[in-house]
Amino acid sequence: MVLSQPPPSDTQPGFPIRAAFYYPWFPEAWNQSGIYPFTKYTPTAGFYDSSSTAVIQQHIPSLEYGHVEAGIASWWDQGSRTDARIPTLLSATRALPSDFRWSLYYELEGSSDPSRPQSRPT
């Protein structure tokens, strides 16, 4: 007889929650308008790559240290670089001992009214 363990509890944050925007645009966004680096600041993690599991797993504890419970990830549409990075963002977070949550911010909603099928991550 095989005994299975119950699934882990799904801890949901209580309201109000603290959330922060998260931009998975890097390393491309470090170079804009011919300026490198396109920032006045030097990130502690250096000029990182948003598709790096190791980087994401450094960012999550830093967000949690600031009592941030959820990230609002910028998403630019199906097939975009941010679309390709969302699965890594989610899997890297799931691999941590963390209750951190993610939501997507659909950037195109700020300047248009995209159709429903267009607004689903791949």
| pLDDT confidence band for 108 (50 / 70 / 90) | confident
| Token pair 């899997």 in the structure block, residue | 91
Per the listing, tokens 């159709």 go with: 115
- Please tell me the predicted confidence (pLDDT) of residue 13: 78
Q: What is the arithmetic mean of pLDDT over 102-118?
A: 79
Rg (CA), the chain: 17
Residue 2 has pLDDT above 80, yes or no: no
54 — alpha (psi -120 to 50), left (phi > 0) or beta?
A: alpha
C-alpha–C-alpha distance, residues 62 and 83, integer Å: 23
Q: 120, 83 in Cβ contact below 8 A?
A: no
pLDDT digit string (tens) for 12-37? 778 899 999 999 999 999 999 999 99
Average pLDDT estimate for 40-44: 90
Q: Is the pLDDT of residue 117 over 80?
A: no
Residue-wise pLDDT for 56-92, tens only, equals: 999 999 999 999 999 999 999 888 999 999 999 999 9
Residues in the chain: 122
How far the first Cα of the chain sits from its last, in Å, is 39
Q: At what angle do helices 53-65 and 81-94 cross, to 10 degrees?
A: 70
What pLDDT is recorded for position 12?
A: 78
Q: Which pair of structure tokens corresponds to residue 104?
A: 């997507």
Distance CA 97, CA 26 (A): 25
